């Protein structure tokens, strides 16, 4: 099997390219990760050097291969009920104060393979009922992980963090050829929709939201990109809406339109308070 090597100059070109496309700042320490993940594409395309692959993906006309590169380089570690305190706050504070006759609109802006979306769905189904007025948009830059999220089909070893009660209540256990897996129940999936969105570019017309989860993605952005991404997302919040980030992230010095409620949880002031 061919072993590929990348020069410092070639790696720097890929760093600039992934930043240009996705806003991701790829650290120098990630050179081995890039070689490991993109080396498979070089073999599949029968290319000999990373320089040749960069020439292939650098042209804007090669949108499919650029997407393949992004899929390979974006990290998607996630699990059900990750950072439990956020879901407790949703259940105990946000949902009870939401106007009962107004549909609750939620956006998981870095949805990865969907565990966050379906965790939200289980909590909202518990609070508002499976027939309740709530909707979740899941988006990601990677089409590959979005396809997994849309299927809602996981292996049982992926139940880390998922309470056994929810596994029984909101999931269908696979049988025969699907043994060892589970499917998110259709009545939950009916409340979800999925869309590929690059947060590093102007956002499409996706409506406005009462809650946006933007967790564990800003760690890959430099400060300038963070400011641009958060400013775009804040424009999609309803007055009084919440923006929730990961436990290792902060909006301090990034955006002052949303106000800190508690660590990692921010709120856009209600309209009356903003006037």
Q: Is 126 a catalytic residue?
A: no
Query: CA–CA separation, 137 vs 195, rounded Å?
Result: 7
Query: CA–CA separation, 217 vs 86, rounded Å?
Result: 16
CA 246 and chain centroid, separation: 11
**Residue from 66, 71, 82, 140 carrying the catalytic annotation:** 140
**Residue from 37, 41, 91, 193 carrying the catalytic annotation:** 37
Long-range contacts of 123-127 (CB under 8 A, 24+ apart): 123/87, 123/90, 123/91, 124/90, 124/95, 124/191, 125/170, 125/187, 125/188, 125/191, 126/91, 127/91, 127/95
Query: CA–CA separation, 218 vs 143, rounded Å?
Result: 19
Q: Is 16 a catalytic residue?
A: no
CA angle 210, 76, 71 (to 5 degrees): 105
- The label of the residue with tokens 């991404």 reads 229
**Which residues have a catalytic role annotated?**
37, 140
């Amino acid at each position: 099997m061919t072993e590929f090597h990348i020069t410092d100059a070639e790696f720097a070109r890929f760093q600039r390219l992934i930043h240009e496309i996705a806003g991701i700042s790829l650290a120098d320490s990630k050179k081995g990760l890039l070689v490991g993940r993109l080396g498979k594409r070089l073999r599949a395309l029968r290319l000999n050097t990373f320089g040749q692959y960069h020439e292939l993906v650098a042209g804007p006309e090669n949108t499919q291969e650029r997407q393949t590169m992004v899929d390979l380089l974006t990290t998607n570690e996630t699990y059900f009920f990750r950072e439990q305190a956020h879901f407790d706050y949703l259940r105990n504070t946000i949902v009870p104060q939401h106007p009962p006759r107004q549909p609750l609109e939620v956006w998981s802006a870095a949805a990865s393979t969907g565990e966050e979306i379906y965790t939200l769905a289980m909590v909202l189904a518990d609070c508002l009922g499976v027939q309740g007025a709530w909707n979740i948009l899941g988006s990601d830059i990677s089409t590959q992980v979005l396809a997994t999220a849309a299927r809602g089909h996981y292996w049982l070893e992926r139940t880390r963090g998922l309470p056994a009660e929810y596994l029984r209540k909101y999931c269908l256990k696979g049988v025969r050829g699907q043994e060892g897996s589970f499917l998110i129940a259709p009545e939950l999936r009916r409340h979800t929709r999925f869309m590929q969105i690059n947060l590093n570019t102007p956002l499409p017309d996706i409506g406005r939201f009462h809650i946006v989860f933007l967790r564990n993605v800003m760690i890959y952005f430099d400060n300038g990109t963070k400011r641009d991404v958060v400013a775009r997302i804040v424009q999609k919040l309803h007055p009084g809406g919440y923006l929730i980030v990961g436990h290792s992230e902060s909006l301090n010095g990034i955006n002052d339109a949303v106000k800190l409620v508690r660590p990692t949880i921010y709120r856009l002031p209600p309209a009356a308070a903003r006037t």
